[in-house]
Structure 1
Amino acid sequence: MLRTDNAYKFMKNIRGSPAFWNSVLLDLLATVRQLGIPTWFLTLSAADMQWPEIIRSIALQYGTQLTDDDVKKMSWENKCKWLRSNPVTAARQFDHRLNLFFKKYIGGKGHPIGELQDYMIRIEFQARGSPHAHTILWMKNAPKLGVDEDAEVINFINEHQSCAIPDNSDEDMRDLVLSRQKHVHSKTCRRAGSCRFKFPHPSSMETIIARQPSDVNPAAMSKELKTKEEVLRKVRTIMEDKNTPQDISLEHLLRRAKVDPQEYQQALKLTKSREQIILRRNPSETDINQYNPKILKLWRANMDIQFILDQYACIMYITSYMLKSERAMSDLLQKVLEESRGEDLKSKLRKVGSAFLNNREVSAQEAVYRLLSLPLQRKSRQVVYVNTATKDKRVSMLKPRHVLESMDDDDDNIFCTSPLDRYASRPRVLEEMSLAEFRATYNTDVLDGRDDNGRNDKDRIQRHPPVIKLQNNLGNMKRRRQHCIIRFHKETKNDEERYRNLLMLYLPWRDEEVDLKAGFPSYKDHFEHVIDTVRANEAMFSINADAIDAAYNDLLRNGPPEDIWHSIAPNVEFEQAEQQAEGITVGGEMSEEDQRENIDLTPQSTANHRSELHARFTAELNRVRMSSEEYRTMMRSLNSKQMEVLRFHRKWCKDTIIALKHDKPAPQYTIFFSGPGGVGKSHIIKLVHHETLRLLTPLSGRYFDPNDLPVLLTAFTGTAAFGINGMTLHSALCLGCGGKEYQPLSSDKLNTLRSRLGKLKLLIVDEVSMVGADILYHVHRRLQDICGNSDPDTRFGGVSILAVGDLFQLQPVGQRHVFSEPSSDYAKLHAKFNGSLWEENFRMIELTESMRQKEDQDFANLLMRVRKAACTESDINILKSRVISKTDPYPSEALHVFRNNKEADDHNLKHLTKLSSKVFHIKAIDTKDLRTGLTNVAISTKSSGNRALKEVLSVAVGARVMVTVNVDVSDGIVNGAFATVVAIDSTGLDVQTILVKFDSDWVGQQAIANSQYKQAYPGVVPIQRQNIQVSPNSSGRRSVQKPSCIAISRLNHSHHKHRLLEQTELGGGAE
């Protein structure tokens, strides 16, 4: 392994590793070489949500008896709950079901797809973790393309393969076909406007084997293919016409398209590439994936079945599927080896092992398969490796220690007997038997003579004795019941070695040092002298070997065709793509300023995102609770309206407890808690959060697990979230930034959210006025995904929502008001059929008594009228009395609020130049994908562009600055946090860190505690470069910059209520 730089192959005995699957692949290629091209590709998926016996078995283990009807009526959430509670039983049930299905049915006397002769099964796991089986089947006396007549092949296919929709006389079969085998287009299957799984398939009057045009003239071939495309285009146009009846016959379809039936069938017989099968199907069946009616009826889950036409398709399929799921891991291990060149063997192996252990994710059911040693692959024949290397390159095994200790010191017979030793000592009766036949026929283990299905091998040679006694006292050997498969190294570089291998395998010999050359000048000369004997023996173990080698070499040079899996097993591949895309969080467009500013700066794409998510929720779970004294003080300060809100919520908590104790869904409320600033909304939020935890926490152990969060406290902006000790809405629910369309999560990230928020009962959303209509829809969809509740009559996954805010505030940037019609097409469609999420679900409770300005009722009333744009003449006069000119003396260091970014930037730059300290200009670093290196793409500085990170940040000691992204919400380092620059750590003009002192002593406490500067600069927070992804034109560019800006002034829209300012100057004119 070290000589060939394949040290990672030491893991070939670790099931599921790349080296393991590579070994399985070599076994399978050897099987194809010896047995010939298989007959069928068959893929069987798991349907653990539709197989009631699995959930019934799991429930029975927990003392609950369920009927099939109970399971069928069960909600998706409860089914998931049962499956998650015992993945061991779910995995074992699939393994048992598959094993029985092959032994009793596929390999039984029913012969649903022909008489089974040999098979190979590989278990793969989908994105959600459920297993499916990829199988390769050899059927006895099955016709082969190019050997048998086309009519015989077509009759065999028609007998065992179908894409027909059964009529209503068999409702069960019809339902199975339509629910399991019908392809429904989605965004995951679209590529350049067409379906990558090749649906819809063309309709045909009969099953056809399509081939390339027979004319060898390129111009003539091109003309034939263009004619074909034109004919099919006409038919396709009519098929896609909305006015075409779904049950139209092919005859009427062709008539509408003005295409001659014979011309159409002739067009179907032509293909640009290799041969392909076009099944007979009606126009209504063009989206039905092929199936075997008998198998589908019994298996009752998705299936794919494909007749194998030639060795090329066979090699492409088996090689791709054997290595598909482990290709990334294999590449990683190879990279680790390259990086560890020059290190000792122990270090290399340690690094390879560590990379394998720490960079491979497995689902619960895959973990069960590995831990319980459930078979990840099965085959009907044993495969043995015949080592044909020269003696100096072969590895021998030492005899056991106790045997060596009992031997004489001068005895050099220290190695175990090898298969080659046994062959050289075979009895005289087997003198003319080659090494290949010997290894395939005889075995030392008397128990290893039975194949998996117990059938006798009809091709065994009866003239060979059942038991043989080896010469030189090497023991006995027993004839196998079935020839095994031999695998050997095929030499391609050295001609002499290649001829030596052929002679060693297929020419009888006793002494390899003498007999293989037999006095000839070279192995090649000897081979040519005995070529007839060698070829005759080789024919027993190599069928179409040259064609298989050519296909395999083509694969090594060019890789598998991109769509090979999509065409061979479209059902499984579509399901896999759906599950993966369900959780791929596509980065939204970096559009509006406040949208970008209020998204948490979190490395969502890193490998440890799950641990980061868990840490995020653990911090929320462990947040310091309100003390009893603080609780009593806050309760005593409530006015009557506030107390009414709290009593309502307390009753909901008690109703929820009763419902959960009786295994019923918790009651749901959706309340909009409104009122102007200063009426105590934040006060009520904290009390509602505390009451929920106080009343529901006692259910821990019975309904809630220790890591469950029954209530989640969120706000739209980081500043507001810090003000209420909560999380941002985007951070809590992993919502994407920007973009109006909902982006589902990846399965692993969604599973993490479900493990922490799956039993969420109340979501509190502060600053709901900043939440647009599209984001509200995203919250609804995300909670549906988390809670597993997609009931169209249920909103927000059954979670209660307390939305807090004041809708008289400014409209959300880049989005419509939360009560308006959303801009997303899917959200519009949802509103059309299910009603507005806001208007038809939320009930408003309004507070009107100002607690903040209760000592100055006149000013409170003025603010109320300003809020509603109902100012009196007296109000306007009072406000005008506060207007000053630029020459008037006023505290110029106060925060200035402007209408637009340009005015704010100009004002900031003016004040920055007045500072006596050195000004540093820090340029953002733009990268593109990790593969293309640095780019010079500038970040937009316009008001409609990305303002979270500036292209060039100018800063100096003494400057007032403000954080512009949410770096750490729990520590208060959030968008809108103000600070003063205390020091700048730099090397020349290269700035590493900006040290700032925040206005609030509560901000940055964790960062200060972990700071390397805390001795030299106590109480100062270090600000590092931050990485954020921007997606103009979907370039996937990442920008790295300090998350701050000069903050003498700010855009007026971003002026938040959660900061009380003694001095504020509104700029920009009176309009």
Structure 2
Amino acid sequence: MAFPTLFPKGTFGFDCQRDRPISLVKYFNQRILNCDNRFAASTEYLFYAQYRSEAKKVADCLSIAMRKCKGQHQVQKITAGQIKNAEDIRRLARSDLSYHFLQNVRGSPAFFNKLLYDLLGMIRQLGSCTWFLTLSSADMKWKDTIQVIAAQHNQKMSDEQVENMTWEQKSTWLRTNPVTAARHFDHRLQLFMSTLVLGKSKPIGEIQDFKYRIEFQQRGSPHCHMLLWVKNAPSISQNSPEDDIPDKRTQTIYTELLTAVMGKLEDVQHDPEVTLEALLEQFEIPEAMYMKALTWIKTKQGQPAVLYRRNPSDCFINNYSPTLMKAWQANLDLQYVTNVYACIMYVASYVSKPEKTLGDVLKSVSKNSAPAGPKKMMETVSKKFLSHREVSAQEAVYRLLPLPLTKGSRQVIFLHTDLAENRTKLLKPMKVIQELDDDDENLYQEGMLEKYQLRPDCIEHICLADFAANNSYARKTNTNSDPDLLDEESLDPETPEQYYHSKLLLYKPWRDETKDLLNEDGTYKRQYFNCRPTFCDRMNYYEPNNEEYTQAVEELQENGPPEDAWASLAP
């Protein structure tokens, strides 16, 4: 019998008959959040619950993926009678989903890949974020965390008792209830955001938008990476790589100068009495030359930089805000972001950093199993995902409970703007198709494009971009003061017809995609240039940073995320 200490009578498991059936997720949530904390205290049960829940979610994702129809079948007439058996469904299903069908499985590489594109969509519309904030967990120093866990075991501890604990004793208490430890971090983070960062005091400016993700350290504790957009934030102009480039001899002098100073810094970094002026005087280096050398080394790639003036003893201290540090009571890093290019390169690197290895494994598995067919390939990928991921107890809690692994101020909506024959559409469930007449062609679920075509006459004049940003799938107008953000498929201008079609689809009002968007000569290009003056303001609204954004995204797609760019967001 599994878990005999948790189920001593072998009853009331998930498969137990109940008057009112409950889902697997709700069952496990009730168990680990129960006032009887024996389930929450069992790490083995947490890992079991997390595995069972994710296996169910993966199976659901696989079922949905098999209903995603290849684009070319949408321009042909297909009836319900033609696909009323499983083999026909498999014939239509997409075979190029790789591991992306796991997108709705929290914590999977595909889940965070979607986060990457959400962030790129925010950067494209809102511009570069102003601050990048990292918040670490100090669960060994947060006395209230251990006190709360102890209270669940009927032990009341004073601050002094917690302070006098050894590292091993604190670790033991945290392992006693990882559920409370994880929930306590999330509760602290939500209060920190609502009362301080987004509060009336505005310690780092008036925050307009934010997006964060939770990542887990090697020791298993969570920490938070966050992008923050500040209202009316100052911008640093783009440095031109051709301006004030020193000759090779001067570059050599600068390199030797900075090397000498860095070598000395290692000897004096713990001496608070040593100043930068004294250090430069020791090497007989003029401060103006040192600043030129430092500016050159930081901006030689053509990107702007922020140089912080500090004493030698402070050179290895993270950038921080005293106000945020006092409130958070743990290590944090606050960096000013210089431009869109640096922001995109960093975002790509930090989002893919922890999941890159597993993502590469899943890509390799999907490639090797592709000849067996899409279903077999996705089943193989599912098994590999469920058995090749290291998860800490607190991460298992985050993935099992509805604790947010990502959170933001806005929703990002993805629109398929490619040609109709290249798009993917979702077939209706098989039980619905079985009830249709054999000659019925209404086989696909309605998406945003179909809902836009059926919009009421009173909003005839609005474009697809405005419709999607201000309306939800439930046909209810978005009540947020800020519209949702859009993310469209990245189409190469070197394939002009697809590129011009996507712009017309987004910004020119239409009812029939073919009749309203094609020019008389059968091209989208001529129609685009004829209509562009009428919608250029909407295009500029949704794509204000398009040139710099496109350059960075093209480099990202060609070369992949730069290694460890996350360590030098603001040079």
Give a deviation string over 1:1019-1070, Cα, whole Å, max 9, x none. xxxxxxxxxxxxxxxxxxxxxxxxxxxxxxxxxxxxxxxxxxxxxxxxxxxx
| Alignment partner of 2:110 out of 12, 19, 25 | 19
1:341-371 deviation line (CA, Å, top 9, x unaligned):
3213332122111111111110111001111
Task: Measure, in 2, the Cα distance between the counterparts of 1:408 and 1:347.
Answer: 30
TM-score normalised by L of structure 1: 0.42
Please give the residue correspondences for 1:668-683 in structure 2 after superposition, counting only pairs within 5 Å.
none
Give the structure 1 partner of residue 192 of structure 2: 101
Alignment correspondent of 2:544: 543
In structure 2, the partner of 1:59 is 150
SS at structure 2 position matched to 1:270? helix
Question: Which segment drifts farther, 235-244 or 523-532?
Answer: 235-244
Quickly say closer, same or farther: Cα 1:59–1:528, change in 2 above 3 A. Answer: same
Aligned to 2:289: 263
Aligned to 1:32: 123
Whether 1:46 and 2:137 are equivalent positions in the alignment is yes
Higher relative contact order (CA 8 A, sep 6+): 2
Aligned with residue 441 of structure 1, among 460, 465, 470 = 470
Number of equivalent positions = 476
Partner residue in 2 for 1:90: 181
Write the deviation string for residues 212-254 of structure 1: whole angstroms up to 9, x where unpaired: 67245xxx43233223234334544554556996412333332
Q: 1:126 aligns to what?
A: 217
Contact kept? 2:125, 2:544, Cα under 8 Å: yes
- Give the superposition deviation at 1:121: 0.5
| CA distance in 1: counterparts of 2:268 and 2:236, whole angstroms | 39
> 1:316 deviation in Å?
1.1
Matched, 1:332 2:361: yes
Relative to 1, partners in 2 of residues 1:402 and 1:11: Cα closer, same or farther, differing over 3 Å? Answer: closer
Tell me, in whole angstroms, the C-alpha distance in 1 between the residues paired with 2:182 and 2:439: 55
- Cα distance in 2 between the residues matched to 1:405 and 1:506: 38
SS at 1:378 equivalent: strand
Match of 2:454 in 1: 425
Please tell me the residue identity of whatever aligns with 1:340. Answer: S
Structure 1 match to 2:97: 6
User: Following TM superposition, by how much is the alpha carbon of 1:396 offset from its aligned partner in structure 2, in angstroms?
Assistant: 4.4
Letter in 2 for 1:319: A
Q: Give the residue type in structure 1 aligned to 2:243.
A: S
**Are 1:347 and 2:376 matched, yes or no?**
yes
Which one-letter code corresponds to 1:266 in the other structure?
K
**Letter of the 1:105 counterpart:** L
Deviations 1:427-468 (A, max 9, x none): 3343331101111012244xxxxxxxxxxxxxxxxxxxxxxx
Aligned CA distance change for structure 1 residues 394 and 561 (closer, same or farther; 3 Å):
closer
Give the residue type in structure 1 aligned to 2:293. Answer: A
1:1038 match? none
Give 1:405 deviation, angstroms.
Answer: 8.6
Asked if 2 retains the 8 angstrom alpha-carbon contact of 1:304 and 1:569, the reply is no
Name the counterpart of 1:741: none
The residue type paired with residue 388 of structure 1 is: T
- Secondary structure in 2 matching 1:132: strand
Distance 1:212 1:393 in 2: 40
Residues 231 and 211 of structure 1: CA distance in aligned 2, closer, same or farther (over 3 Å): farther
CA distance in 1, matches of 2:415, 2:292: 50
**1:486-885 matches, cutoff 5 A:** 486-492=486-492, 494-568=495-569
Aligned position for 1:864: none
After superposition, the Cα gap between the structure-2 partners of 1:122 and 1:477, relative to the gap in structure 1 and judged at 3 Å, is closer
In the alignment, the residues of structure 2 paired with residue 382 and residue 243 of structure 1 have an alpha-carbon distance, to the nearest angstrom, of 45
Residue equivalent to 1:250: 276
Cα offset, 1:487, TM superposition? 1.6
The answer to whether the Cα contact below 8 Å between 1:212 and 1:270 also exists between their aligned partners in 2 is: no
Structure 2: 5+ residue runs without aligned partners? 1-67, 69-92
Counterpart AA for 1:355: K
- Structure 1 stretch displaced more, 316-325 or 528-537: 528-537
Gaps of at least 5 residues in structure 1 are: 148-209, 446-474, 571-1071
Q: State the 1:406 CA deviation.
A: 8.4
Shift in alpha-carbon separation, 1:532–1:479, aligned structure 2, 3 A: farther
Helix, strand or coil at the partner of 1:277: coil
Contact kept in structure 2, 1:211 and 1:276, CA below 8 Å: no
Mapped partners of 2:176, 2:326: distance in 1 = 29
CA distance in structure 1 between the partners assigned to 2:202 and 2:136 by the alignment: 20
Aligned to 2:483: 483
Task: After TM superposition, list the pairs within 5 Å mapping 1:171-250 onto structure 2.
Answer: 214-215=243-244, 220-236=246-262, 238-240=264-266, 246-250=272-276
Instruction: Tell me the C-alpha RMSD between the 2 structures.
Output: 2.7
Q: Greater CA radius of gyration, 1 or 2?
A: 1
1:284 aligns with 2:313: yes
Q: CA deviation at 1:277?
A: 1.7
1:263–1:395 distance in 2 versus 1, CA, 3 Å: closer
**Residues 31-77 of structure 1, C-alpha deviation per residue, up to 9 Å, x if partnerless?**
11111111111110000000011100100001111111111111111
Structure-2 residue corresponding to 1:382: 411
5 Å-filtered alignment, 1:951-970, equals none
Cα distance in 1 between the residues matched to 2:448 and 2:287: 63
Contact 2:470 2:477 in 1 (8 A): no
Secondary structure of 2:338's match? Answer: coil
Q: Distance in 1 between matches of 2:358 and 2:461?
A: 46
Q: What is the CA distance between 1:304 and its match in structure 2? A: 1.1
Separation in 2 of the partners of 1:411 and 1:351?
35
CA contact (8 A) 2:270 2:313 kept: no
Equivalent residue, structure 1, for 2:391 = 362
Query: Following the alignment from structure 1 to structure 2, what is the Cα–Cα distance between the partners of residues 331 and 121?
Result: 24
Alpha-carbon spacing, 1:418–1:265, altered in 2? closer, same or farther (3 Å): closer
- Could you tell me how far apart the structure 1 residues matched to 2:477 and 2:543 are? 25
**What is the rounded CA distance, in whole Å, between the counterparts of 2:399 and 2:269 in structure 1?**
54
1:80 maps to 171
Give the Cα separation in 2 of the matches to 1:363 and 1:240.
Answer: 36
* C-alpha spacing 1:397/1:334, structure 2 compared with 1 (3 Å): closer
Once the two structures are superposed, what CA deviation does each residue of 1:135-189 show, in whole Å capped at 9, x if it has no partner? 0111111011118xxxxxxxxxxxxxxxxxxxxxxxxxxxxxxxxxxxxxxxxxx
Cα 1:42–1:281, aligned 2, differ >3 Å: closer, same or farther?
Answer: same
**2-structure distance, mates of 1:106, 1:553:** 33
Counterpart secondary structure, 1:341: helix
SS state at 1:340 partner: helix
Aligned AA for 1:252? A
The code of the aligned residue for 1:544 comes to N
Secondary structure of the corresponding residue to residue 443 of structure 1: coil
Counterpart of 2:170, as a letter, is K
For 2:349, the aligned partner's letter is: S
Maintained 8 Å contact 2:130/2:337: yes
**SS of residue paired to 1:521:** coil
Alignment partner of 1:510: what SS?
coil
User: What's the TM-score, normalizing by structure 2?
Assistant: 0.77
Q: Which amino acid aligns with 1:38?
A: C
Q: Which one has the bigger helix percentage? A: 2
1:142 aligns with 2:236: no
More strand by percentage:
1
- CA distance, structure 2, for counterparts of residue 383 and residue 317 of structure 1: 19
Which residue pairs with 1:69 in the alignment? 160
Q: Secondary structure at the match of 2:403?
A: coil
Q: Provide, for residues 14-36 of structure 1, a one-character-per-residue CA deviation record: whole Å limited to 9, x for no partner.
A: 11111111111111111111111
Distance 1:400 1:297, change over 3 A: same
Instruction: Tell me the CA shift for residue 538 of structure 1.
Output: 1.1
Please tell me the residue identity of whatever aligns with 1:506. Y
* C-alpha displacement of 1:260: 2.1
